[in-house]
Amino acid sequence: MVFISHDARDAELAGAFSKLLGSVSAGMLKSFRSSDKKGTEGIEFGEEWYRSLMKKLESASDVVCLLTERSFERPWILYEAGVAKGKLNKPVLGIALGIPLSKVSSGPFYQFQNSDDSEDSLKKLIMQLAGRIPGLAPDPEVVETQVKTFKAKVTEILNQLGESTEEEETPSESSTARLLEELKVIVRELPKQVEKRLSDPRLRERRRKLRHFHPMAFEEMMHMMPGGPEDPTSILMVTSLFRDEVPWLEVLGREAYDAMHSRSRPRKERAMSALRRAIEYMVHTPMGREIFSESEEEYMMFRETMRHLDHILERMGESASEE
C-alpha cells in the first residue's frame, strides 16, 4: 500500500496518481490519500483523524510525497515524511510536479533520491512500486501509456491551479497563514500523540536526564563554538535535543543549517524565517505546554532554550543581510 502525502489543494493530483497506480497494477497496488472523499482510499467518517493517519503510515510499504510549488515546504508533509523515515524506517519517495527537481532536492528532501515528472523517471518509479508485489510484472508499454495520461492530467490540473491563484495574497502572507493553519491542526490532534509517547519508558528516562540541564548551559556551549554563538552548528545542537518530542523542529533546523552554508541569500532568509515562525508558535501557543505537560520544569527549560535559539537566529539573520 502506497501512502500518498500531499497538500490538501493538490487533492486532484493525488487522485490522478492513485489512479495511475491502480491502472498499471490492475488494482493490486493499493494507495491511501487523506483527501479522498468519494472512494475508500481516505479516512472513514467517524474515525479519529490523527490515529488513522498514523496507522496508514505504519502499514504503508512506501510513502510518496507529491511536491509542488504549494507543498514542498509545508510542515505537515515534512512531518509525515519525518515520521515515515525517522520513526518507521519506510521508503520516502518525492516527486517534483511542475517544479524543478533541484528546488526540492536542496531542502529537507535533499536526503532522498527524488523523481522529477519526466516520463522516464515516472515509469521507473511506477515499476519500482509495482515490484513490491510478488509476481506483478506490468507491461512496459501499458505503463508508458498510463504515465502519458497522468502527465497530461497533471499539466491540466497545474494550469487550473495557476489561474485560480493569480489574485491570491502575497507569498509571504500566504506561507505564514498556511504554516499557522497546519500547526493548529497538529495541536488539535496532539493530546492523543502526547499520551502515547508519555507511556514510552525510554522517552521518560531520556526526559528525566534532560531535566538536569539548564538553558544557560546551552548558551555557554554555543559561545564555545568555533564561530561563536552565530555558528550554524548551534542550530543543530539545540533542535536535535528535542528530536523525540518535536521532530518537525529538527527538520526545519537541518534546513536552516544547510541554508546558512549556501550562497543564496533568499534561501537563507526563507529557512531562517520558517524556523523562527515555528519557534514563535511553540513558545506562544499551548502547543509546547501540551508536549511537555508531564513536567512544568521541562516545559520551562524548553521554552527558555527556544528563546535563546530565537535570539541567535535573529543575529544570524542580521549577519546574513549584511553580506
Residues 144 and 259 in one domain: no
How buried is residue 149: exposed, middle or buried, by Cβ count under 10 Å (0-12/13-18/19+)?
Answer: middle
Reported as a single tens digit per residue, the pLDDT across 143-152 is 999 999 999 9
Of 164, 191, 208, the residue at which a domain comes to its end is 164
pLDDT more than 90, % of the chain: 20
Residues 151 and 175 in one domain: no
DSSP letter string, 49-62: HHHHHHHHHHH-SE
Of 164, 186, 219, the residue at which a domain comes to its end is 164
46: alpha, beta or left? (left if phi > 0; alpha if psi -120 to 50)? left
Reported as a single tens digit per residue, the pLDDT across 254-313 is 888 888 888 888 888 888 888 888 888 888 777 777 777 767 767 777 787 788 788 888
Residues 121 and 199 in one domain: no
Residues 175 and 160 in one domain: no
Residues 26 and 154 in one domain: yes
Local confidence band at 240 (pLDDT 50, 70, 90 cut-offs): confident
Q: List the domain range (segments joined by +) for residue 192.
A: 171-322
Local confidence band at 169 (pLDDT 50, 70, 90 cut-offs): very low
Q: Is the whole model's pTM more than 0.85, yes or no?
A: no
Q: Give the number of C-alpha atoms closer than 13 A to the C-alpha of residue 146, restricted to the C-beta side.
A: 23
Residues 150 and 71 in one domain: yes
Residues 66 and 151 in one domain: yes
The identity of residue 99, as a single letter, is: I
Of 164, 191, 226, the residue at which a domain comes to its end is 164
pLDDT (0 to 100) of residue 212:
46
Residues 212 and 97 in one domain: no
Residues 181 and 78 in one domain: no
Residues 153 and 178 in one domain: no
Contact 239, 249 (CB under 8 A): yes
* Domain count within the chain: 2
Rg (CA), the chain: 21
